[in-house]
Structure 1
């Protein structure tokens, strides 16, 4: 029966921050686990260290192995490099000087934000210089009238959300990793997030960027206008290119007005077919106020409840749907969502549900969705796949994968943004397992390609998907990407071994 939220559980939002646990054994070196051959790059020597110290000072040129180790390992524990130097610039000019020198010496560089990526794109593969953007965290300006934020790329997403909310605005992107991820990393990977159905992707919300090319050239592509039809839109070269064409140092982003009325419904459903019918009804009945639509399956929710000792507001169902509405008139929005839920329950599509507009309760329901990724990581090793699939076959791959891996995995689950056809498929085991790896790859990408889906919906290509890009890009498109890389970074120093297919 449809009813209000009955119980409230306690949870610390800090658990959403980067949760790779130091107690876990370090993963194999990437070069060993994935048999990668090092490119023809120079190696760091004492003269290089002295030069870097002259640019960023000795305190921001880190060479201690134990201090660098967390930056060498990715969030999932899937890849690990062995960089010997970590640089922390504070200004665009310092980034420019670093890249100019690295390019002249042919030293490879791995640029890094909050290191929350899931495809191995932000850590070294070998001994690349790590360029951490975490000290480039200045918020330069917020134009409340135009709704525009200008900031450096190292700003943490959650801090930006807090800042613009004081101006009556909100960020057009929201992620479970918002307490750690950097806005520059979000833009570099064209991250999607939880409310893409309402605000669209970052290609449409980023108005301008400042970026540094491999040779140190600073490109001022900043703009404060949505309408700026002046030739090639060069900013788009850097949005989604994952640091392979240049390093984003500053950006301007359009921020929508903050909603005055937010409602969240958490619904229990018997089948994916019922969930799909409910989603279609939500689009029709809720229309302009629908801001998020998230699918959670039984095993995904189970991981959250077990790992974080939470209680679900609903009893056990095969599927759950989290719906959010955002508007300016609470009475109007409550009337619309009540009508939608009553109609769906009369049809038998929804078996149980809870709805709330109380801030604390809204946050607690969202925790059930936002902490799935970290809950799965806490259980062991996770093979994570981020794909776009037609809604008619959106969930089919989950039971197919369960049968394919059998008892080798102890959890195969799916969750994600049904509102924009983005499924997160997860295969969990105690530790990295070569047999599972062989069973799921390239099968998952071949399966996706046959349905004309995308092998990467929002996480990017990084290192882990380079050899699978061919399933979503034709040879002509791949060749053009290679040509662009050669023009922008002729020495190939920027984030090598990432995005473009490897030549082994």
Structure 2
């Protein structure tokens, strides 16, 4: 038996053991009126791409059919790997003409099943569209293909003195096209904003294969409708993003990170207010972690708090251009916070290795989720600051008997709470629906949003009519119908 075959068998077993039940069965989804792949379709795709970029082997396809968190699983029997926009155009034109549903896929790090098929959609991956095309070193504007890994773009920019304005835990895997398609936020949103504010232009292919050039690299361009915004956050349902023009700010010369322990959430909010007043222009991230989350980190990721145990923890980062100025401001803040009893303890780091050690505690949280499979329910909520953490107790009470543990962490700087619930038993569709209803009802009662930065994908699509006004949804459906009349682009996602 060859080494390659052994590796393929190992990979197949790994996904077979961890893969969830097929989405179509688990969620009782009715297949849309699409055609299925035939031999002649495969032959046609091999004319567009070379044979190596048309994948039909079931072992190779398994990881593309299954989402990163092992929540959903499709049954696609073909994967296409285009290298150019023109190839994407040819693929979509053919699929549209032959009514073949398509699932666009980047790094496949979606938390809501938005990047994997539900049935047998044609998976079109951007992984070979990974070229950084250009950088304007005067303006910091970078142009790249959709399959560029986020971290690779940042490494390319580092020696040039710029930084990618997005930082998320999946940066070593996710693709910039996926980040645009989900309007990713991340840990430094408080300083740089989300993708809507940082994308200057995109190139996208519509369902009929038409290439739409919105590749303006101008910061200010008010000539007509801003069509690029239709595709930012649309999760591949309106078009296939192939190129991105990104505004990248100057790379900070100096960074500081602090890990703080606090007594209660009231003091967390007061500390946050003090932070904004003292650090203002150099404040780049504010993350909060509660005790259950830290216990989870300790158990699953084998990482400990560097300052001991406290009810709440704040992780803050400053970034600026003047070392003395930044450190002075940070120390003045810490001095006042300690003096007034807002924080109980803390540690500060300015060396890159120590800063990364602090950030790794936060960035690695998601890695621990996978061990729980369907028992781990994840909610990406946005809430008013005063209610940011108050929602947890009502949810604990309402899910008593169903949940084993409820905990929260997230981007306090922009009101984004990642709410996690570990169920006592495996999540059946009925059980998950019951818990979803509780969570979404509480979020609505607190005037929050059920999707802060992860989008809607497949898993939240059925709740759209409960959280959006009817006329708003109708307009969304009309836009979808206009751009994708046959509904071939990422069906069963966002709008259903």
1:218 to partner: Cα distance: 0.3
Show structure 2 runs of 5+ residues with no match.
1-12
Report Cα offsets for 1:212-250 as digits up to 9, x if no partner.
000000011001111111000000010000000000000
The answer for the alignment partner of 1:487 in structure 2 is: 482
The answer for the alignment partner of 2:33 in structure 1 is: 40
Distance 1:128 1:315, change over 3 A: same
* Residue 108 in structure 1 maps to residue 105 in structure 2: no
The answer for the alignment partner of 1:463 in structure 2 is: 458
* Residue 396 in structure 1 maps to residue 390 in structure 2: yes
* Residue 240 in structure 1 maps to residue 233 in structure 2: yes
> Is the CA contact 1:455–1:469 (under 8 Å) kept in the aligned structure 2?
no
Q: Please, which of 449, 452, 455 is the counterpart of residue 444 of structure 2? A: 449
Please, which moves more after superposition, 448-457 or 336-345?
Answer: 448-457
1:189 to partner: Cα distance: 0.3
1:311 to partner: Cα distance: 2.8
> Is the CA contact 2:70–2:373 (under 8 Å) kept in the aligned structure 1?
no
Q: Distance in 2 between matches of 1:365 and 1:307?
A: 17
* Residue 345 in structure 1 maps to residue 338 in structure 2: yes
Distance 1:24 1:353, change over 3 A: farther
Distance 1:239 1:306, change over 3 A: same
Q: Please, which of 469, 474, 478 is the counterpart of residue 469 of structure 2? A: 474
* Residue 28 in structure 1 maps to residue 21 in structure 2: yes
The answer for the alignment partner of 2:421 in structure 1 is: 427
The answer for the alignment partner of 2:283 in structure 1 is: 290
Show structure 1 runs of 5+ residues with no match.
1-19
> Is the CA contact 2:278–2:329 (under 8 Å) kept in the aligned structure 1?
yes
Q: Distance in 2 between matches of 1:267 and 1:248?
A: 40
The answer for the alignment partner of 2:87 in structure 1 is: 94
The answer for the alignment partner of 1:59 in structure 2 is: 52
3-state SS of paired residue (2:160): coil
Q: Distance in 2 between matches of 1:30 and 1:379?
A: 18
* Residue 141 in structure 1 maps to residue 160 in structure 2: no
Q: Distance in 2 between matches of 1:225 and 1:49?
A: 41
Report Cα offsets for 1:424-448 as digits up to 9, x if no partner.
0011246434564143112211221
3-state SS of paired residue (1:426): strand
1:253 to partner: Cα distance: 0.3
Q: Please, which of 70, 76, 95 is the counterpart of residue 77 of structure 1? A: 70
> Is the CA contact 1:173–1:194 (under 8 Å) kept in the aligned structure 2?
yes
3-state SS of paired residue (2:167): coil
* Residue 359 in structure 1 maps to residue 342 in structure 2: no
Report Cα offsets for 1:407-437 as digits up to 9, x if no partner.
5433311000111011000112464345641
The answer for the alignment partner of 1:5 in structure 2 is: none
The answer for the alignment partner of 2:43 in structure 1 is: 50
* Residue 216 in structure 1 maps to residue 209 in structure 2: yes
Please, which moves more after superposition, 235-244 or 402-411?
Answer: 402-411
The answer for the alignment partner of 1:7 in structure 2 is: none
The answer for the alignment partner of 2:156 in structure 1 is: 163
The answer for the alignment partner of 1:440 in structure 2 is: 435
> Is the CA contact 2:301–2:365 (under 8 Å) kept in the aligned structure 1?
no
The answer for the alignment partner of 2:9 in structure 1 is: none
The answer for the alignment partner of 2:145 in structure 1 is: 152
> Is the CA contact 2:26–2:429 (under 8 Å) kept in the aligned structure 1?
no
1:305 to partner: Cα distance: 1.9
> Is the CA contact 1:405–1:436 (under 8 Å) kept in the aligned structure 2?
no
> Is the CA contact 1:212–1:248 (under 8 Å) kept in the aligned structure 2?
yes
3-state SS of paired residue (1:165): helix
Q: Please, which of 403, 417, 442 is the counterpart of residue 409 of structure 1? A: 403
Distance 1:45 1:434, change over 3 A: closer
3-state SS of paired residue (1:406): coil
The answer for the alignment partner of 1:10 in structure 2 is: none
> Is the CA contact 1:208–1:221 (under 8 Å) kept in the aligned structure 2?
yes
Instruction: Trace 1:318-333 onto structure 2 (pairs within 5 A).
Output: 318-333=311-326
Report Cα offsets for 1:249-287 as digits up to 9, x if no partner.
001000000001101010011111110110010001111
> Is the CA contact 2:395–2:438 (under 8 Å) kept in the aligned structure 1?
no
> Is the CA contact 2:180–2:232 (under 8 Å) kept in the aligned structure 1?
yes
> Is the CA contact 2:80–2:124 (under 8 Å) kept in the aligned structure 1?
yes
Distance 1:398 1:23, change over 3 A: farther
> Is the CA contact 1:455–1:468 (under 8 Å) kept in the aligned structure 2?
no
Q: Distance in 2 between matches of 1:378 and 1:284?
A: 40
1:310 to partner: Cα distance: 2.1
Q: Distance in 2 between matches of 1:267 and 1:86?
A: 47
Q: CA RMSD in A?
A: 1.4
Q: Distance in 1 between matches of 2:230 and 2:73?
A: 27
* Residue 118 in structure 1 maps to residue 104 in structure 2: no
Please, which moves more after superposition, 324-333 or 405-414?
Answer: 405-414
Q: Distance in 2 between matches of 1:21 and 1:305?
A: 25
> Is the CA contact 1:409–1:436 (under 8 Å) kept in the aligned structure 2?
no
Q: Distance in 2 between matches of 1:273 and 1:412?
A: 19
> Is the CA contact 2:282–2:320 (under 8 Å) kept in the aligned structure 1?
yes
* Residue 299 in structure 1 maps to residue 299 in structure 2: no
Please, what TM-score do these two structures have when normalized by structure 1? 0.93
Q: Distance in 1 between matches of 2:71 and 2:171?
A: 21
The answer for the alignment partner of 1:179 in structure 2 is: 172
1:166 to partner: Cα distance: 1.4
